[in-house]
Structure 1
Amino acid sequence: MQGTHVRHRMEALQDAVARVDRRHASFARHARLREKDGFVRFGIDALDAVFKDGFPVFALHEVRCTLSRDIGAASGFLAGLLAGCMKNRAGRIVWICDPACRLDGGQLFPAGLAMFGLDPARLLMVRPADLKSALWASDEAAKCTELAGVVFQVKGNPARFDMTATRRLMLKAQQNGLFVSILRQGGEEEANAAATRWCVDARASAADPHLEKGIGLLRLSLVLERNRNGQTGQWTVAWNQHEHGFEHVPEDHVDRPAAALHRPDGAPQMGQVMAFERAS
């Protein structure tokens, strides 16, 4: 009886050592992947200068907007970022949405994602019934090495989504070689484990140079609020849907909105105002 017990203990110990070896081998494989192609560049000198080796792909990032009405701008920036980071990677992208986000933020539009260079066919939408289920789904998705990326869209700053929860996502992103992002809708900045945190706001577009009285490229105001390299900054960029890339907008061109189409400069002249007697 004692010999059988010792043999079972030895087998359990051997299994535990084998699991540790497999984890180390997996981490080393993804570490080599990070050294090879784990960084991307925006193609904008002022923006690329704040990242030492380039923008880190296999990490946790946060994109937020202070007002829910700007979730379209924040989602667009994240879609363009995903398209650039996933250009040479296969696999699906899981987008998990807190149910509170859909009340005033709506849902993703496939044609809009395609405009940002993100293939809608690669996207797997997960719509849990509550925040607890959404957090569980994001943790489980970040464990899948076959995926290319994970997006967790959350409304505001719920207490349940704390530093511990973000630290788990950060570790899984690094160990499994995934792009993991928090898309915070209408939330304030708060401390978490994200490698970068971006605040995105929509800016007025310029006139289209090729179409008379047409609206030009989409413009976004980017504020890099957190960067583990220590450098932050603020830029205005435009998304070129033809080239599928970001372009820098010089400061002297920021406040030149497109001209109004078929709209008078002032209010029309009012006609004669007549006073009617009250019926009662």
Structure 2
Amino acid sequence: MQGNRQRIEALQGAVARIDRRHASFARHARMRGDSGTAAFGINAIDAVFEDGFPVFALHEVRCSLTRDIGAATGFLAGLIAGCMKQRQGRIVWICDPACRLDGGQLFPAGLSMFGLDPARLVLVRPADLKSALWASDEAAKCADLAGVVFQVKGNQPSFDMTATRRLMLKAQQNGLFVGILRQGGDEEANAAATRWHVSAQPSAADPHLERGIGLLRLSLVLERNRNGQTGHWTVAWNQHEHGFEHVPTDYVDRPAAPFDRPDGAPQMGQVMAFERAS
């Protein structure tokens, strides 16, 4: 009986500490005038989040192939810009050195197309993954920041459930948007409030410029949502309005016409199944 009573008291103490953290976060959010939620501006996506998209939480954006890291980075940049419209402060972007070898360097000026002011960006380029993990933990402690992004390559054993849970708690406690940008990684369990899989889609032709390429299109798969609802959408990023636009799944449009090559591949002639023939 004595052992059970001690365990119950320990659980009650843990719940009380969590409640105090949440109360402190809610009080600080009210002082800043933040609601803690945001909207995509797309009804199909906003309907998935009953109380609005949770801004001050941990969110993961991943791409299965390294070639899609540009699309994933653009989506995350647009997401941060939309969530931080009324919020001042720096955004710390920490990059695992292995990401730079495969995906190249982050180009801050290009982020302005997604509504993210490069002047607000602080790039951290650690020497190794261990230092990158330490930097992300330390940055998430800073309540004066607007957001923290940790870009990591693949599925690293050291970046486990415990590490993501720490980031999630710090995001809630300090009122931060904390994002994981996973380059070429597989789906895995972690403490993120949402997980998005992003891949690039062919753009339509530009209606105003002959042979021009239209708006950037992305395929979004919401793989995890703490509200329980997920979905799959095709969206376009309007760099003029700095916002996402929904592209219906039955949308039919011609792709941008190629400038210096034929529209399609020539016929290859007869095709033979060699295995069957032999």
Pick the TM interval, shorter chain.
0.7 to 0.9
Partner of 2:229: 231
Unaligned runs of 5+ in 1: 1-21, 269-280
Aligned to 2:124: 126
Counterpart in 2 of 1:78? 76
Residue 186 (structure 1) aligned with residue 160 (structure 2): no
Alignment of 1:73-112 (within 5 A): 73-112=71-110
Displacement after TM superposition at 1:109 (Å): 1.3
On the 8 A contact 1:34/1:58 being kept in 2, the answer is: no
Tell me, in whole angstroms, the C-alpha distance in 2 between the residues paired with 1:39 and 1:25.
Answer: 17
Aligned-partner Cα distance in 2 for 1:139–1:93: 14
Alpha carbons 1:204, 1:255 under 8 Å: kept: no
* Cα shift at 1:101: 0.3
TM-score of the pair, normalised by structure 2 = 0.84
Query: Any idea what the Cα deviations from partners look like across 1:215-244, whole Å, max 9, x if unmatched?
Result: 100000000000000000000000000000
The number of aligned residues is 247
Matching residue of 1:155:
153
Is contact 2:22–2:173 with CA below 8 Å preserved after alignment?
A: no
Mapped to 1, the partners of 2:178 and 2:256 lie a distance apart of 36
SS of the aligned residue for 1:252 comes to coil
Within 5 Å, give how 1:1-280 maps onto structure 2.
26-32=24-30, 36-253=34-251, 256-265=254-263
For the structure 1 residues 119 and 38, does the alpha-carbon distance in structure 2 shift closer, same or farther, using more than 3 Å as the test?
same
Question: 2 CA distance for matches of 1:34 and 1:57?
Answer: 14
Cα offset, 1:30, TM superposition? 2.9
Whether the 8 Å contact between 1:236 and 1:254 is mirrored in structure 2 is: no
Flag the 1:37–1:163 CA change in 2: closer, same or farther, 3 A. Answer: same
| One-letter amino acid of the structure 1 residue matched with residue 156 of structure 2 | P
- The aligned counterpart of 2:271 is none
Instruction: Give the partner amino acid of 2:61.
Output: V
Structure-2 change in CA distance of 1:23 and 1:206 (3 Å) = closer
- The amino acid of 1:229's aligned partner reads N
Give 1:194's aligned amino acid.
A
Tell me what 2:4 maps to. Answer: none
Q: Distance in 1 between matches of 2:71 and 2:252?
A: 16
Distance 1:220 1:34, change over 3 A: farther
Instruction: Tell me the distance in 1 between the aligned counterparts of 2:33 and 2:51.
Output: 10
CA positional deviation for 1:110: 2.2
Judge conservation of contact 2:200–2:217 (CA < 8 Å) in 1.
yes
Match of 1:109, as an amino acid? F
| Partners of 2:55 and 2:104 in 1: CA distance | 27
Distance in 2, matches of 1:179 and 1:200, equals 19
CA RMSD, aligned part only?
2.0
Bigger drift between 69-78 and 28-37 goes to 28-37
**TM-score normalised by length of structure 1:** 0.84
Q: CA deviation at 1:253?
A: 2.4
Give me the identity figure in percent.
85
